[in-house]
Amino acid sequence: MRPIELSIGAESTIYKVERWGKEFALKWRHKKPYLHPEIDRQLRTARTTRECRMLNFARLNGITTPTIHAVDLTENTIMMDYIKGEQLKQLVPVISSKRLRSLCFDFGRTLAKLHNSNVVHGDPTTSNFIVDSHDDLWVLDFGLAEWNATAEMKGVDLHLVRRVLETTHWDVQEAMLEATLKGYVSTIGDEAEHILSRMEEIRERGRYH
C-alpha cells in the first residue's frame, strides 16, 4: 500500500502506512522554509522528542494514546498506531445532542486525568481527540504538552478549550462547555475550584489587556 496523506498541517504531515500487514500513522514534521534552518531543525526535533515522551507518559497514566513503534530524530518522524475513528471536531455537527454531551463529558474527564498526572496538553482542540467505534476518546498531538503543570497551566489548558469551543463550535458552545466542565470536575478532585477560578481569571485578563 502506498502511503496515504491523512492530514497536512502547518507543522506536520500525517500519512497512513502499512507495515507488517498492519496500518500505522506516520507523523512527519517537515522543514519550514520561512525559519532559520538551524532553529527549524532544533524546534522540529524538540517537538518530536517531547511528543514521544508525552504520548508514552500519558498512556502510562491511563490516558488512551496511540502506541509508538518507531522514532527517527533525523527525519523527525514518529510511527504510531493508526487510530480508526473520527475527529471529535468532525462529529460535533452531525451527532445527537445526547451523544455530544456524553462525548464532551469524556473530553473533560480525559483532560482531568491528564491534569491529575500534572501534564497539560497545550493544544486541546477537538481535532486532537479521535472518537473510535466504541465512542472511546484517543488523545493525539502532544508536541506542545508540558510536565510539572501548575494550577495556572491547567487553567490555561481549560481556557484554550473554551476558546476552541467559541471559535470552532460556536453554535453549540454552551452545551459543550457545560458537559466538558462537568466531566472535568467529576475527575479532577480537590483542585477543581482553584483551577476553574484560574480559567475565569485568564479570560478576564485577556479581555482587559
* Least distance between ligand ATP and beta carbon 103 (Å): 15
Q: Mention every residue, 6+ apart, whose C-beta is less than 8 A from residue 30.
A: 12, 13, 44, 76
Cβ proximity to ligand ATP, 80 vs 177, nearer residue: 80
The residue from 83, 95, 151, 202 that contacts ligand ATP (CB under 6 A) is: 83
- The CB-of-81 to ligand ATP minimum distance in angstroms stands at 6
128 binds Mg ion (CB under 5 A): yes
Integer Cα distance of 122 and 141 in angstroms = 9
- Most distant pair of Cα atoms in the chain: their distance: 56
* Burial category of 108 from C-beta neighbours within 10 Å (exposed 0-12, middle 13-18, buried 19 and up): buried
- Would you say 141 or 157 has its CB closer to Mg ion? 141
Write down the catalytic residue from 40, 81, 106, 123. Answer: 123
**12 belongs to the binding site for ligand ATP (CB under 6 A):** yes
Concerning whether 40 is annotated as a catalytic residue, the answer is no
- Whole-angstrom distance, CA of residue 61 vs CA of residue 54: 10
Q: Cell 482587559 identifies what position?
A: 208
65 near Mg ion, rule: CB under 5 A: no
Binding site for Mg ion (CB under 5 A): 128, 141
